[in-house]
C-alpha cells in the first residue's frame, strides 16, 4: 500500500481534524495525492501494469 493510501486508512490523533488536508500534512504526503487516492485514482505503477 502506498503512503497516500496509508494516510487515508490511518487513525488520526485527537485534536487533528478529519480532513484530507490534515491527513496529508500529518502523513507528510502531498495533499493532491491524498485527494486523488480518495477519489479512486490508481498509482502510476498500477496503471502501467494494466
Q: 3-state SS string over the chain?
A: CCHHHHHHHCCCCCCCCCCHHHHHHHHCCCHHHHHHHHCCCCCHHHHHHC
Q: Which three cell numbers stand for residue 9?
A: 486508512
Domain that holds residue 12: 3-49
Domain count, the chain: 1
pLDDT in tens, 28-47: 999 999 999 999 998 888 88
pTM: 0.85
Closest CA to 7 of 48, 15, 30, 43: 30
Residue range 11-25, pLDDT digits in tens: 999 999 999 999 999
Amino acid at each position: 500500500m502506498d503512503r497516500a493510501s496509508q494516510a487515508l486508512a490511518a487513525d488520526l490523533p485527537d485534536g487533528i481534524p478529519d480532513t484530507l488536508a490534515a491527513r496529508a500534512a500529518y502523513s507528510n504526503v502531498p495533499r493532491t495525492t491524498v485527494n486523488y487516492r480518495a477519489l479512486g485514482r490508481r498509482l502510476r505503477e498500477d496503471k502501467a501494469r494494466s
